[in-house]
Amino acid sequence: MDATQIPTNPFKPTWKPLTELHIHAGGGLPASTMWTIAHQQGIRLPFEDYWDFKDAITITRAKMMDLDEFLHSPKNPFHWCEMIQSSPEAMEHTIYEMAAKAYRKCNVDTLDIRFTPMKRNRKGEKDLDHIIAGALRGLDRVMLEYPIRVGLIFCLEKGFPAHLNEITVDKAIKYKSRGIVGIDLTGLDSGNKFNADEMAPIFHKAKAAGLGVTVHAGEGPEQLSVKDAITKLGADRIGHGIDSIHHPEELELIQKHDIVMEFCPTSNIILGLLNGPEDCKNVVNTWMAHGIKFTVNSDDPIFFETNIKLEYNFLRENGVLTDKQLDQCTAIARKASFLNR
């Protein structure tokens, strides 16, 4: 460390500001905060105590589950987190706290946060506009308090009928000037019922309105293909996309369309999609060999006990990426944030 790097304040992070593009509100708050929000709202949780709750929403390497189980089983941590976050007050608290924590703990200064509004309204019992307004209040507050830029991405779901996804896009367009920066497509379509052709007009509507498009694709072999995400849904960025390394035509397509990949190493490892640092190296080396841009992200930091700084550390300490390459990932992320639109 040279003299210019000596921190003037022992509490302030010493590393350069980071950017995170792929983080879900459902997996973004500490268990203790989720516990508090649940109690503030009088929600009766079926857990013996706080520790039982924390255990239920944390997926460590010791209790790995596959992607299908993670998204669909009754043990699915998203279920509890989305239920707890299903009120305007809870969404305000969630967005505020996630961004404030990202700034204080990881020195993040640019952040795209995603969530599914349609999974925060208790199946229509709560008004969607109030849920969105709550999230926007959290956004306004955190940007008043900390020097961080935050944009919200609304998630569409692979398992939803088209009309529900279209309502989400209409809301994203309606609130675009207030801080909604893009849309995403998430969830698992294990029944292979997702029809990319049917959904394409909805995605193009969002794009024509100036919203960014990111799509969870190629996370595992059974997922929506990266090719369809790019050619049919018009993705600007791909969530995960690690399966692309097995498909030369997809690698070519990603490079040709200048698509930015959102790599989430710990998430991929804990869900059994990658085996460890060697597999991570294989993914990033293949992308680099094809001139593909990628970024580093945490996905669901609380479920996987990680954060973006820990992801950077993991990749550096295991020789997956050098400091210079990680700086390059940060520069790519900064440029690819939908906040720039």
Residues that bind Zn ion (CB under 5 A): 299
Please tell me the distance from the alpha carbon of residue 270 to that of residue 240, in angstroms, as a whole number: 14
Tally of residues, the chain: 341
Minimum CB distance to Zn ion, residue 153 (Å): 10
CB of 155 to Zn ion, least distance (A): 9
From the list 250, 252, 273, the residue with the least C-alpha distance to 263 is 273
C-beta separation of 295 from 333 below 8 A = yes
- CA gap 188, 271 in Å, rounded: 13
Residue 225 CB, nearest approach to Zn ion (Å): 17
Nearer to Zn ion, 97 or 299 (CB): 299
Rounded CA-CA distance 234/43 in Å is 40
Q: Which is nearer to Zn ion, 250 or 299 (CB)?
A: 299
Angle 193-199-202 (CA atoms, 0-180°, nearest 5)?
Answer: 155
Q: Which is nearer to Zn ion, 26 or 134 (CB)?
A: 26
Containing 232, the helix (H) or strand (E) segment is none
Residues contacting residue 263 through CB under 8 Å, at least 6 positions apart: 240, 241, 242, 283, 284, 294, 295, 296, 297
User: What single-letter DSSP state applies at residue 299?
Assistant: B
Smallest gap, in angstroms, from Cβ of residue 82 to Zn ion? 14
Least Å from the CB of residue 179 to Zn ion: 20
Q: 109 or 262: whose CB is closer to Zn ion?
A: 262
Is the CB of 87 or the CB of 311 nearer to Zn ion? 311
Smallest gap from residue 221 Cβ to Zn ion (A): 17
Tell me the two tokens of residue 114: 């995603």
Residue closer to Zn ion (CB basis): 97 or 262: 262
CB 283, min distance to Zn ion, A: 16
Rounded Cα distance, 163 and 160, in Å = 8
CB of 239 to Zn ion, least distance (A): 5
Residue (78 or 175) nearer to Zn ion, CB: 78
Which CB, 87 or 297, lies closer to Zn ion?
A: 297
Q: Helices in the chain by DSSP H: which ranges? A: 31-40, 50-57, 67-72, 77-84, 88-106, 128-145, 162-174, 196-208, 226-231, 248-256, 265-270, 277-289, 308-317, 323-336
- Residue number of the CB closest to Zn ion reads 299
